[in-house]
Chains A and B, each alone.
Chain A
Amino acid sequence: MNIRKLKDAFAGRLMLAAALFSSLIVLLMAIILYLRSRPILEVKTLNDLLLGSIWMPFQGKFGFYPFIMGTLYVTLLAMVIAVPLSILSSIYLAEYAHENVRTKVLPVIDLLAGIPPVVYGVWGVLAVVPAISYIAPVIGNLGIPFLTVKGYSTGYSLLAGGIVLAIMVFPIIISISEQVLRAVPFDIKEASLSLGATRWQTIKHAVIRIAYPGIAAAIILGFSRAIGETMAVLMVVGNVPNIPSSVFDSAYPLTALIANNYGEMMSIPLYDSALLLAALILMLVILFFTVAARLILIRIERSMAYG
């Protein structure tokens, strides 16, 4: 009897410790990143660092602006591609697809989430990059804003990164949105349909209204996945530190900057500190989006509880 109680108490403590440990690690990481990036923060203003666009470590110029923009652009482009497609897929799966189709397709989509990023990267290099270098001259000469090509495009571009990232984000948005849509009470659909609405009208006017906070959370989770993704992006995005003005330009996201350079040329003064600052910026951005997603999820649960 006592041994059982003891075990129980022990298990409780152990789990508490595990939980504390993992949250502590996040905190420790942030603190260490901050301490290690202090040297550069002491000699440069935050303004210079965040808004400077020249990256020349040898001359002591560390402008993060192209990298921050690279990260934001590639993530945004990925979301622009992924959000409409994956929401339409999830609507199809939740509302139109036959049970048989749904039960076969959903596991495949979940499988997509488990493929290692490097495989997506290789696929990007072998399939997406050549395809883009092929279409770039055609589209690039039409003079459409954001779709112009200066000189020629190798295919290693914002667009390649966006497409590869979009495909990596699909499974997250699709499977969460599908669940959210299917959780919409049947009553609501019944009410709308019995008034003579078509299925699409029902989805557009009634179902989405209930599901949108959940879908928003799915999008935010997809966003934080995309913004932190490194390997697949750095393989296809070109890694040139300029501010892209067209989707056919190369870009250089923060993640790629850190992964490509950390551990090399560390003798350059402040270089190490600059890279760790990049990591800190990235972490803060991701933290921001994760917290936002959490808050939205909490709101959904509330609204469900109080009807």
Chain B
Amino acid sequence: MAMPALRFDRLGQVFETRSGRTEALRDVSFDVARHEFVSILGPSGCGKSTLLRMIAGLLTPTSGSVEVFGLPVTAPRDDIGIVFQKPTLLPWATVEDNVVFPARHKTGRVTAEERQRAGELLDMVGLSGFEKRLPDELSGGMQQRVGIARALLMDPDILLMDEPFSALDALTREVMGFDLLRIFSERPKTVVFITHSVSEAALLSDRVLVMTGRPGSILTEVNVPVTRPRGPETAKDKAIHELSDHLRDLLLNRHAA
């Protein structure tokens, strides 16, 4: 196997605060291959966001290491994009300006090429014609699409998504899932996707990691035995439903324990 995109080696994170010591993660070890889609399921507070922040170089592990393409993460990298739970767009900037914001923020200017790419990305996420709108003229789902386009502007190899659809209604959420399948079939990415939805994890992922409660560690990992390309039809696939049930059992047993 080629060099993994991400490698976690006995990763641990302990927060020392005035109110005490929190061990968020313990001994997390796994690899993510290039262009693999990995979902992470786990109870709230088990350190999923913490894990993403360490990949993004926003937080230093207190033990173990995270490697991206063979290099330990010491600072944020250019080839990683982030999609947050809330779209968190700039309310004063148009949709297009929001998408090119990473360029403007990093370099102080936006090139014509970047503007063109923003247009293409907006087209890809189904928002062409909305370039000049302001965020609060958009629905929650559309705002999150802008957030996804923004994360893809610099064409990162790795995309970190922290419960990106959890603020959306069930139907929008399902549509967004199908759109993600289409987007990543057009532009393959290495994706780490955090979710609480077992069916979403089953539909989208190549592999699902289930985490234990705090201190979070990997309870088990499950491969998704369904080929790509996937689409709305895949959601009805028996294998997806069986996998969802299996994942739900794993999570519920863990909660009961």
A and B pair up? no
On A, residues with C-beta under 8 Å from B are none
